[in-house]
């Protein structure tokens, strides 16, 4: 695990759990959750940041050492996503951006084509782009071609806590695309985050499962530990899966074989 760092853009990241800041029952719970988890990358919707009011400014709850990754939540087209990203950068939020384009009101599935367009525009402008998408290998390859710094496929519908329902599609993306693959959305349990990391995901982004837990602070810690465990298991190399039993010790040459 020594020097097992994740590099995105010009940032070196050691904690592979990313956390979102929505849905917490109290804004005051955000900071202790981020601190106990040791998280380094935090995403926030620009519409929840009020730069003119300290009491309503979400940024006050984010530790200064964290990398702020504004998302384009609320965008329904590539053009809207681009405008949101530009506003965030102009307001001093940096050049990292999670590109999120959703025009489906029922399942909240991302629009991959509009997301691709926004990724191309913003990458050319110098943004470090992390597009959130429905796992699709061909579209993900195009996102890499136009400059995406990482790809963020959903595990299941956003906010659903259904877990890693797209496991095989995500596995293929991890295998075929030479970019960090960050599982985003739908992860409901620490064990599911560990599973994503065991597959070789570069990181996991979680919000609902932490924020809506009975104890969000302790759940943030649980997810941080799970991500570390999954990453360690991946690096260690998981054992082969067998279709039949195989004894860990010899079953012959003992008792029954003796005269």
Query: Which residues are known to be catalytic?
Result: 98
Query: In sequence order, what E strands does the chain have?
Result: 6-8, 11-13, 17-20, 41-45, 67-71, 96-99, 128-133, 152-153, 182-184, 203-206
Give dist(CA 234, CA 165) in Å, integer. Answer: 20
Phi, psi of 192 (to 5 degrees): -75, -35
Task: Estimate the share of the chain in helix, then strand, then coil, as percent rounded to the nearest 5.
Answer: 35, 20, 45
């Amino acid at each position: 695990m020594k020097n097992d760092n994740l590099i995105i853009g010009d940032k070196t990241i050691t904690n592979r759990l990313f956390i979102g800041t929505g849905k917490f029952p109290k804004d005051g719970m955000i900071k202790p959750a981020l601190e106990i988890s040791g998280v380094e990358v935090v995403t926030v919707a620009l519409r929840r940041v009020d730069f003119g009011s300290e009491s309503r400014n979400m940024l006050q709850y984010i530790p200064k050492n964290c990398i702020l990754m504004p998302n384009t939540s609320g965008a329904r087209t590539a053009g809207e996503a681009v405008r949101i990203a530009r506003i965030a950068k102009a307001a001093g939020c940096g050049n990292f951006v999670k590109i999120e384009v959703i025009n489906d009101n029922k399942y909240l599935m991302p629009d991959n084509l509009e997301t691709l367009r926004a990724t191309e525009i913003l990458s050319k402008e110098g943004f470090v782009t992390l597009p959130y998408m429905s796992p699709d290998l061909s579209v993900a390859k195009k996102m890499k071609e136009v400059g995406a710094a990482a790809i963020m496929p959903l595990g299941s519908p956003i906010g659903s806590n259904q877990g890693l329902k797209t496991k095989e599609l995500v596995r293929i993306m991890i295998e075929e695309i030479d970019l960090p693959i960050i599982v985003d959305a739908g992860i409901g349990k620490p064990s599911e985050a560990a599973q994503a990391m065991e597959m070789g995901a570069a990181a996991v982004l979680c919000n609902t499962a932490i924020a809506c837990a009975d104890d969000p602070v302790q759940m943030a810690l649980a997810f941080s530990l799970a991500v570390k465990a999954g990453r360690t298991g991946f690096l260690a190399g998981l054992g082969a899966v067998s279709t039949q039993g195989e004894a860990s010790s010899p079953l012959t040459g003992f008792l029954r074989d003796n005269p």
